[in-house]
Structure 1
Amino acid sequence: MKDGKVILKRLSFLDFREDEYASLVASRSSNPFETLVATVISQNTNDRNTMRAMKNLKERLGYLTPEKMMELSDEELEELIRPAGLHKQKAKYLKLIAERLSGGALEEILSLETEEARDRLLEIPGIGPKTADVLLSLMGRETIGVDRHIARVSSRLGISDGSYEATRRALMNIFDKKDYLRAHLLLIKLGREYCRPRNPRCGECPLRDICDFSHSLKPGDSD
């Protein structure tokens, strides 16, 4: 089993700016619905585009609430979040999410124990495991969201090569609970800057000596 403390120590030089992560920026507003919206919009796009879409929404609606979201026409919502891509699909899901979470329903869900809250969130169309886990972790709950970068890093390190849930559980087992959010953010940064899908920078990676993938490479196979 990999040592989570060693991994975080090795990655500490990376660190991160809060403005690199749209969902993290949104979480600082102390508005769980805004954090959820940012997480949904961030799917399959980069944080710069997510922030542009969020800026449009906040300029139009001010403090984001499910009720305000529901007042927008489908066409207007689509146009506001267009910078993030897949705007029609995301607008459809945001409307469904807003409908299900209006009237204080989100606050009620977040008052539950973590796994029960997670189960309730997963019942809502448009909220998948990653979205639920990212929201909960940003709200200070004990879980780890697994995006494509974290899944790739986890597989290459030999932490997990299974399903989303298997990877989430494996990561939760090796990191201390207090470090879950930091681990999530640093593993994303590692995946973006070193453990890239193509041409990974294995020779420069701070985890190369404990990485199964790196050990399997022949000279010249990576940067």
Structure 2
Amino acid sequence: MNFAREARKLADFISDLEDDFILYSYENDYNYTHIGALLTNIILQAGLNYNTVVKPRVEKVLLQYPNHNTTSKFQELINSDGLENIINWKHHTKLNRMYDFVDFLMGNNINTCFDLKEYLLSYENQKEVLNLEGIGPKTVDYLLKLLNFDVVAVDRHIYNFVEMAEVEIKGYDYTKKTVEYAADFLDIPRKVLDYSIWSYMSNKDFTKSNKESQLMLEF
């Protein structure tokens, strides 16, 4: 298959970067046992800065509502306090996606993060999640990664990195398989390569932004 050849090329590119590319041991910021914090993360992450926008809201849910960690208890909290106040968010699109996800969990008797992980062991169940409004393959893979499945969730950083390596890009699934096979060639966990690419490209973005800011100040 072509993606296997491209994966080998990507693995060689990473090896040639040597000390410029650091392999980070992937560890979730949180050991997810709080369904509300988990949903806050996966619903908000798309298109937003993780460190400045998503992470503070996840931490707020964990710190202020530690006992509302199951789906049923989190739904009670939503009914009493209002979701927009719980996660400090007003735009209806992401709020509606979160409401829909809570309803989905309740409808499938998924009350804990462990229940959700068990449910997602089935590929057919993963496809059921994709039927939710606004939930795409990247969000499902990101959810799997947070629940400690060994997967790659392809975002703009991975697309840009793969393009930088002059590796062929043919959509989400093809790119995902290419990066996952590259991790296999490098003999490292797939989620480690995912996080290492994210860190590498995030740092490049930060450096670029810094330089642009300095130029704006100079001129």
Q: Determine if the TM-score, normalized by the shorter chain, exceeds 0.5.
A: yes
- Number of residue pairs aligned between Structure 1 and Structure 2: 192
Within the alignment, does 1:13 sit opposite 2:13 as a pair?
Answer: no
Give the letter aligned to residue 122 of structure 1: L
Aligned to 2:190: 180
**Contact 2:22–2:200 under 8 Å retained in 1:** no
What is the 5 A alignment of 1:19-98? Answer: 24-26=28-30, 28-31=31-34, 34-46=37-49, 47-62=51-66, 63-71=68-76, 72-73=78-79, 76-82=82-88, 87-98=91-102
Return the alpha-carbon distance in structure 1 between the equivalents of residues 80 and 174 of structure 2: 37
Aligned: 1:150 with 2:158: yes
Structure 1 residues not aligned, in runs of 5+: 19-23, 201-223
Distance 2:151 2:179 in 1: 9
Q: 1:110 to 1:15 in 2, by over 3 A?
A: closer
Q: 2:11 aligns with which of 4, 10, 13?
A: 4
1:94 shift after superposition? 0.7
Instruction: Give the Å deviation of 1:95.
Output: 0.8
The structure, 1 or 2, with the larger RCO (C-alpha pairs under 8 Å, 6+ apart) is 2
CA shift in 2, pair 1:107/1:55, >3 Å: closer
Task: State the TM-score, normalized to the length of structure 1.
Answer: 0.69
Q: Is the 8 A contact 1:81 1:91 kept in 2?
A: no
User: In the aligned structure 2, how far is the partner of 1:17 from the partner of 1:170?
Assistant: 19
**1:110 matches 2:110:** no
Residues 37, 62 of structure 2: 8 Å contact kept: no
User: How far is 1:39 from its partner?
Assistant: 2.0
Q: Distance in 2 between matches of 1:190 and 1:161?
A: 19
What TM-score, normalized to structure 2?
0.70
Q: CA deviation at 1:45?
A: 1.9
Does the aligned pair in 2 maintain the 1:93–1:126 contact within 8 Å?
yes
Identity rate of aligned residues, in percent? 19
Instruction: Point out where structure 2 has 5 or more consecutive residues left out of the alignment.
Output: 1-5, 210-219
Q: Does 1:135 align with 2:138?
A: no
Paired residues of 1:94 and 1:126 also in contact (CA < 8 A): no
CA RMSD across the alignment: 3.4
